[in-house]
Structure 1
Amino acid sequence: MGKILFLTLLLIGATYCSAQTTITPAAPGVSYGNGVEKGESIGLATLTKKLNSDSVYTGRISGKVIEVCKKKGCFMKISDGNGDPVLVRFTGYSFFMPQNIVGNEVIVEGKAKVKETSVKQLRHWAEDAGKSKEEIEKINTPKKDVEIMADGVLVNKG
C-alpha cells in the first residue's frame, strides 16, 4: 500500500514538474493554453467601452503583444496603439509565453475586468519586466487598469 501511494505521488510530482517546461516559439497559428482557434474577437478600444468598474467581459480580445515577462513568460501586455496597454495573465499559471511573441498580433480568450493593482504588485511586475531600480522606485500609487485572465492565446499574425 505504501509503495503504491509513493509511486502515485512520484508520478503526480513528475507530471507537475514537466508541465510546459519548453515553450513553443511564437508563429502564426500557434496556440498556448486551451486551444484557441481563429474567429471573431473584439479590440481593446471596444473592450474598454464595454467594461465599467464592476463588470466582467468573457470572450475573445485581440491586440498586439508589446511586452512579455522576461523571467519565464508568466504575463504579457497587449496594446492597440491608442490607449494604455492591457495586462494579460494566464489562468493558474498553466502556460507561459515565449520571448519572441513581442510584436505579434494575438487573440486572447478569457475574462477581462477592471482591477486595482497594488504598489507591491506593480513593483514586482516591473522587476520581472527588467525595469531599472530607479523606475521601480518611482512606482508609488496603485493603478486601475483592465486586466485579462486568459485561458488561451492564439498567435494571429507575426
Structure 2
Amino acid sequence: MKKIVLLFAVCFAIVSCKNETKTPEDSTPEVSKEIAYASFGEKIEANDILSQEQIMKAYKGLKVGDTITTKIEGKIIEVCSKKGCWMTLDMDGENEVMVKFKDYGFFMPLNAEGDVIINGKAFVTETSVDELRHYAEDAGKSEDEIAAITDPKFEYRFEADGVLLKQ
C-alpha cells in the first residue's frame, strides 16, 4: 500500500511540476476605424448616408414645396458668424446647400469647420432678396457686397434636426 501511495505521490509531483509553455493566442484587439463626432440637436447615427451624387440628383428632381427626409454628408463652407443659426455645405464643388436647424432648437459653433453629417428634410426654395441680404450681413459681408444682391436665388435647402460634426 505504501508503494501505491508513493507511486501516486511521485506521479502527482511530476504532473504538477510539468513546465508547460502555453503560447498565447493572438490577443491583439481588432482595431476599428471609429470616428469621433460632436453631436448637435437630436441624436443621430453615422449610417445610411446618401452620397453627394445621390442627393444632388434628388435635389434636381424636386419642385418648390417637395421635401425628402434623408441623411447627407458635406463639408462646411460657412457658418452664421452671429449665432451659428445656419451653415452652408459644399456638395460637389459646384453646388452648395443652405442648412437651417429645426425650430432653432440648436446652433453650430461659430468656428465649426470640416465635414458634417446632417439628418432632416431636403427641399428647394426661391430665396428673396431681403433674406439673401440678411444672410450676407450675418456672414459679415461688406455693404457693397450686400447692396449688390438684387435678384432672388433658387437654392437647395436642408432643415436639420440632428448634426454630427467630425472632430
Classify the TM-score, shorter chain. 0.7 to 0.9
Question: Given the alignment, which residue of 21, 44, 48 partners 2:52?
Answer: 44
Q: What is the aligned partner in structure 2 of residue 111 from structure 1?
A: 121
**Inter-partner Cα distance in structure 2 for 1:133 and 1:119:** 14
Q: What is the aligned partner in structure 1 of residue 24 from structure 2?
A: none
Over aligned residue pairs, what C-alpha RMSD do you find?
A: 1.5
**Inter-partner Cα distance in structure 2 for 1:82 and 1:149:** 21
Give the 3-state SS of the residue equivalent to 1:100 in structure 2.
coil
- Note if contact 2:82-2:110 (Cα within 8 Å) is conserved in structure 1: no
Give the 3-state SS of the residue equivalent to 2:126 in structure 1.
strand
Question: Given the alignment, which residue of 120, 124, 133 partners 1:123?
Answer: 133
Structure 2 gaps, min length 5: 1-34
- Larger Rg over CA atoms: 2
How far the C-alpha of 1:80 sits from its partner, in A, is: 2.9
- Note if contact 1:43-1:80 (Cα within 8 Å) is conserved in structure 2: no
Q: What is the aligned partner in structure 1 of residue 88 from structure 2?
A: 77
- The alignment's TM-score, normalised by the length of structure 2, stands at 0.73
Give the 3-state SS of the residue equivalent to 1:123 in structure 2.
helix
- Note if contact 2:89-2:99 (Cα within 8 Å) is conserved in structure 1: yes
Give the 3-state SS of the residue equivalent to 1:130 in structure 2.
coil
Q: What is the aligned partner in structure 2 of residue 12 from structure 1?
A: none
Structure 1 gaps, min length 5: 1-26
- The alignment covers a number of residue pairs equal to 130
Structure 1's consecutive aligned runs of 4 or more residues displaced over 6 angstroms after TM superposition are: none
How far the C-alpha of 1:81 sits from its partner, in A, is: 4.2
Which string of whole-angstrom CA distances, capped at 9 and with x for unpartnered residues, describes residues 55-100 of structure 1? 3111101101110000010000111342221100001111000022
Give 1:60's aligned amino acid: K
Give the 3-state SS of the residue equivalent to 1:101 in structure 2.
coil
Give the 3-state SS of the residue equivalent to 1:140 in structure 2.
coil
Give 1:127's aligned amino acid: E
- The alignment's TM-score, normalised by the length of structure 1, stands at 0.77
How far the C-alpha of 1:29 sits from its partner, in A, is: 1.3
Give 1:79's aligned amino acid: D
- Note if contact 1:43-1:63 (Cα within 8 Å) is conserved in structure 2: no
